[in-house]
Amino acid sequence: MMVGAGRAGQVDCMNRDIVQIAEITVIRVSGTLRSWELLMEKEEFVTLLEQGRTRFIFNLEALVHLGSSSLGAILQCRRLALERDAAIRLVVAPRQMELLEMTKLDEVFDSFTTEKDALENFGGDV
């Protein structure tokens, strides 16, 4: 999925892929993520939860910009996941880890520097 939003001649694009690896749903996001709708429509995330998916990895390491609205969107997904006994792991680049540490969100999320490490953290065969 590619989303574009023009602004003074500039185009911000976000790409998102959702893949299933064993019983883990991996949501890979790249480009510029600025709002809840760009991360994932709330209804779409709820649908994944209602399908019985309980393990999610948000791979954000390829994002150009991770701002406060993006963090709010991720926290909203976390709240929805916790209501349904689901779990979210984050994959972030070093510059994003600094933001998580500054906002103390590193204490809220299990965060990893590689998707492989996040997959292994869930255990099982992946």
Question: Hey, what domains does the chain have and what are their CATH numbers?
Answer: 2-121 (3.30.750.24)
Give me the pLDDT at residue 69, please: 74
Core vs surface per residue 74-92: b (16+ CB within 10 A) or e: beebbebbeeeebbbbbbb
Q: What is the pLDDT of residue 10?
A: 41
Q: Can you give the pLDDT at residue 43?
A: 85
State the DSSP string of 75-91: HHHHHHHHHTT-EEEEE
Determine the pLDDT at residue 7. 40
The pLDDT assigned to 38 comes to 58
CA atoms within a 13 Å half-sphere pointing along the CA-CB vector of 48? 24
Question: What pLDDT tens digit does each residue of the chain (126 aa) get?
Answer: 433 443 443 445 778 899 999 999 999 988 876 655 556 778 889 999 999 999 999 999 998 877 777 788 889 999 999 999 999 999 999 889 988 999 899 999 999 999 999 999 998 555
